[in-house]
Chains A and B, each alone.
Chain A
């Protein structure tokens, strides 16, 4: 058993990718908790699809792809807000328009340049965790420290703001700043996760572990901590599955995360489908 766990670690690329996978599991669960409680899952999806043209342009211009992706994500949220605030189109429709447009632009750009540059569209879409470099690891660690520090330092303000925006505004909290800050955290987290799972599946890492935890505990920080636990378990098991069964790492991680969610959904002590059914039966027999 131990041998199974240790064997892949003799390869440096496996060490690197495991580190990335674990970090991504942590920050996605924390930031994803904010997405979940604000019902912004769709926004997470929108931003992650929107970073694609940024990746492509950064690649063409040979600048850091983290920066390219982040800028594209920022521009897309800006576009969504412009449409929403200046017309009667609702937020979800605005997201739909913007993110599909950005996604289409990204795919077009990558297809045009991929032949001569020997890059693979699939790596952008589904991640290429086995191809991470040491500098990728460094960038990811810096982003993670920044994200976690912000959440830790502004926890009480963000809790108030995400629970009751009007209440927070009425006491004079800078709600626009908090909102922008959250968007930046979401953007950074998505960008940091691209190598591991790619633009299409990152939503799963953001939302699924947080939801799994939400069915089990009742306070935001508990959701985050338990979510981190589930996220990290998913990342590690996904990586090993990918190593031994030659599966793409992103989908493997996502499938493990989903499995954990299904368990929580069925067996959560308070909200589980099967636990609820068993309780009902038990009470019927007793009375």
Chain B
């Protein structure tokens, strides 16, 4: 696929009936970088992602990829929802779920091609889940479930990747696998956007950060964003967070 320039969000405002979730948020996301969206619980991180993807309506704003509306380029998008939004008792195997990544590319009325099967196989190898291919999804650990979804997004052969809290409740091994894949995608020139509310050590794996709490607090490289003042504004004085992080980035 062609070279990506950037994803530009301008003046995005989102409300749910009476609740205002995001107010006038603007930022840019660049390819070749792993970008994290951080902020406290209820800050509007998931909302921002859903609005950008056209999954929920927004009151105002524009979201452009290469100067064209993002929602007109859905075939270039891969989205992994928050794990809690999925019914894991659904009768499907690992293979079935990763295959879903090929549904749109396959097209109506057609069966999956050999190529698609191969793509899915490779995606499963990449997340080290090939051995679990026939396992029902309900019989996986949280980390394995997350890797299955990562494989599904890889199978989509997308240019721009959205992950909502991929590290929630996953083991160390999975976290490493996932970050390595993010790094590879970035090196291939993809846009990688990751919601992550954990401000632990893992934050060092991001290149750029977008810090929100209803408003945009800061965006840029992680050094620029992880300033005491920004964190104070976002987390309204939970001092432990930033003193810890100052050490991490120092």
Contact = CB atoms under 8 A, between A and B. Distances in A.
Interface of A: 37, 39, 153-154, 156-157, 159-160, 162-164, 166-173, 214, 217-220, 222-223
Given A166-B50, A169-B54, A172-B75, 15 more contacts: A156-B103, A159-B100, A160-B103, A166-B55, A166-B79, A167-B79, A167-B100, A167-B152, A171-B74, A171-B78, A171-B79, A218-B92, A218-B136, A220-B91, A223-B91
B85 interface: yes
Interface string B93-119: 100110110011010110010000000
Interface of B: 50, 53-55, 74-75, 77-81, 85-87, 90-93, 96-97, 99-100, 103-104, 106, 108-109, 112, 136, 152, 156, 162
Q: Which of A154, A163, A217, A220 counts the most B-chain CB atoms under 10 A from its CB?
A: A163
B81 A164 contact: yes
B55 A170 contact: yes
A197 B239 CA distance: 66
A214 B78 CA distance: 30
Contact of A163 (B74, B78, B90, B162): B90
Q: Which of B79, B93, B103, B109 counts the most A-chain CB atoms under 10 A from its CB?
A: B103
Nearest to B152: A167
Contacts of A39: 87
A157 B103 contact: yes
Nearest to A37: B90
Contacts of B93: 218-219
B176 to A, nearest CB: 25
A214 to B, nearest CB: 6
Given A153-B109, A159-B96, A172-B104, A217 B91 contact: yes
Contacts of A218: 91-93, 136
29 contacts: A37-B90, A37-B91, A154-B108, A156-B99, A156-B100, A156-B106, A159-B100, A163-B90, A163-B92, A163-B100, A164-B85, A164-B100, A166-B50, A166-B55, A167-B80, A167-B81, A167-B100, A169-B54, A170-B54, A170-B78, A170-B79, A171-B77, A171-B78, A171-B104, A172-B104, A218-B136, A220-B92, A220-B96, A223-B91
Given A164-B100, A173-B103, A159 B92 contact: yes
B79 A156 contact: no
Nearest to B134: A218
Q: Which of A160, A170, A222, A223 counts the most B-chain CB atoms under 10 A from its CB?
A: A170
B104 A173 contact: yes
A156 B55 CA distance: 21
